[in-house]
Amino acid sequence: MSASTAKANVEQLREKLRTIRKGIITSTTAAGSGHPTSSLSAAEMTTALFFAGFLRFDPKNPSWPQRDRFILSKGHAAPLLYAVMAEAGYFPASELNTLRKLGSPLEGHPNLRRLPGIEASTGSLGQGLSLGVGHALAVKLDRFDSNVFVLLGDGEVGEGQVWEAVMSAAKYKLDNLIAIVDQNGYQQTGATKEVLDLTPLAPKFEAFGWVSQEIEGNSLENCIAALQKAVQAKGSGKPQVIISKTVKGYPISHLLGNDPNHHGKPLTAEQATKVLEFLETTTA
């Protein structure tokens, strides 16, 4: 069984990141709705995960039992998942512009029944980590060394179920489970600090028996280093969490006016043109 484990060097990764960011913008603008800023904040992390050799997957055999799992618990970042999957070869990039259209498997939130390679149907926040616990238990029962990565939003961790899952992962010593909290600081109606401030997050996970890392997450290098450390913790008997502090809409938030949140709004065609020009050349 072959898996796409080839490590791209950082320059190649940066090109992939550029393509993925552009895919997020063009697909949501074509759709006329969606969550581009929630997608962009986690683009570096997801790019590193898929293309720097951490996630073992095979687009030709998406349900390969020994694969690593990636669960997008913050399902509204579906445009990110689709852009990454297109880049990974699950489907042609031209399909990205069918996002949210009738008949397209690229639904507004991920639907595993519509698109092979999607590990979980998400969109009702708070459920992905429990699914991740289930996957992590299953692969341990099967004696596979697969890892399970779950990407959550920082607003999402207000859901009580997340902490139920956190506790059960510690109980079952799931050191093959890696949670990533995309801490972009905003949720639907405003700043996460104002809506329901759960910071500091890392000590809360630690208190439940997890090992945490905190990083500035809009950096491929930082993401790679953190993922490296997390996967090397296998054998520790402890689940791993990466609190990835990010900027919502990175690196284009300065082009979106005075709204640092810009939640759930696609860019206008005019904005998108400017943003795509910027993304073409930025080294951020």
Partner 1 sequence: MNWKMGKATREAFGQALAALGADYPDIVVVDGDVGNSTRTELFGKKYPERFFNVGIAESNMVGVAGGLASSGKRAWLSSFAAFVMCNAYDQLRMSIAFPNLDVKVVGTHAGISIGEDGPSQMGIEDVSLACSLPNFTVIVPADEVSMTAAVQAVAKIRTPVYLRAGRPNVPIVYPDGCSFEIGKAIPLREGSDVTVIANGLMVAAALQAAETLAGMGVQTRVLDMHTVKPLDDAAVLKAARETGKIVVAEEHLLHGGLGSVVAMSVARQHPVPMRFVGINDTFAESGTPEGLLQKYGLTADAIVQKVRELVGK
Binding partner 1 (rule: CB under 8 A), the pick from 27, 29, 41, 130 is: 130
Q: Which structure tokens are listed for 2?
A: 């072959």
The size of the interface with partner 1 (CB under 8 A), counted in residues, is 34
**Closest CB to partner 1 among residues 127, 240:** 127
Q: Across the strands, what pairs with 28?
A: none
* Cα 205 to Cα 42, 116, 120, 199, 276, distances in angstroms: 20, 32, 23, 11, 38
Stretch that binds partner 1, among 1-9, 27-35, 115-123, 200-208 (CB under 8 A): 115-123
Show contacts with partner 1 in window 139-198 (CB under 8 A): 139, 141-142, 160-161, 164-165, 167-168, 171-172
User: Minimum distance from CB of 63 to partner 1 (Å)?
Assistant: 8
Smallest gap, in angstroms, from Cβ of residue 33 to partner 1? Answer: 20
The answer to whether the CB of 182 falls within 8 A of the CB of 241 is no
Which DSSP state fits 261? -
20, 224 contact by CB (below 8 A): no
Contact letters for partner 1, residues 62-101 (x by CB under 8 A)? ---x---x--------------------------------
CA nearest to 13, candidates 173, 237, 220: 220
- How many angstroms separate the CA atoms of 247 and 82, rounded? 20
Stretch in the footprint of partner 1 (CB under 8 A) among 2-10, 11-19, 31-39, 116-124: 116-124
**Closer CB to partner 1, 142 or 197, in the complex:** 142
